[in-house]
Amino acid sequence: MNTQLAQEGLKIDWANMPTYNTIMSIAAGAGLLGIVLLARQIVRKPADVSAEGWSLAFGALGAILTATGLHMSLTWPLAAGGFPFDNIIFGETSLGFGVLLLAASIYLWRRGAEALLRPNPLAALAKVAQPISVFIGGLGLALFGIAVAGVKYKLFAAPPQEPISGEFAEWPLVEAIFMSALFALIGLGAVLFPFVVTGLKNTAATITLPARIMGAVWAVTGVVFILFGAMNFFTHIGLIVNTM
């Protein structure tokens, strides 16, 4: 089928299918990595943490993800090209993460400096984050669902007209497994989040194994999403040029 598409020449009406999961990927990756780096700074040297700086960072990333995620969730622009499921996969997850980053940004701007002056700032922040941890855990379960759907229905496969990723068009399971693994790992960190904040609420608690796992999977997937999103600026431009 992919060979046939290549021979016939796939044409996409890009005017009716705006695609911006490129900037979404970089913003989401930076957000995940930023959370880990902030927590690491707080543990090692809270006096060096700039609450205002992290507030601006999370605010900028949250604004990008909220705006693009909301538009994609409400208008389903990718349905025009035959990818309606991508509006759920990328739009709704970006919207959820974006709103969470905006909430964190507002808190850090207003109360971050005060929280960092407490004897155990990580425990103080964990208490603030606990009420929303149920939603974060729910998003983690949703990401597990996306990962399973990605493999079962062989989603995420790029057409042969897309540079680099299109080289695997005849083996759709390759990209399906790759992307599904990323979603599953992020989901693992999100599912662990409620348990992590509950443990950190205890001022005597140290960094637990679930916290280390959460930090590791979010750091790795954050870097991968940044790199993958950056690469997609080339591959998506190439796809547009090849299918106009």
Which of helix, strand or coil describes residue 49? coil
What is the pLDDT of the chain when averaged over all its residues?
A: 93
Cα–Cα distances in angstroms (integers) from residue 161 to residues 134, 165, 225, in the given order = 42, 9, 22
Separation between Cα atoms, residue 108 and residue 10, nearest integer Å: 48
Higher pLDDT, 216 or 199: 216
Q: Which of 43-52, 80-89, 197-206, 227-236 has the lowest mean pLDDT?
A: 197-206
Is the entire prediction scored with pTM above 0.85?
yes
Residue 215 near residue 188 (C-beta atoms within 8 A): no
C-beta atoms surrounding 24 within 10 Å: 24
- pLDDT at residue 2 in the model: 38
Least Cα distance to 61 among 187, 217, 229 occurs for 229
Cα–Cα distances in angstroms (integers) from residue 149 to residues 9, 69, 88, 173, 177, in the given order = 28, 20, 12, 12, 10
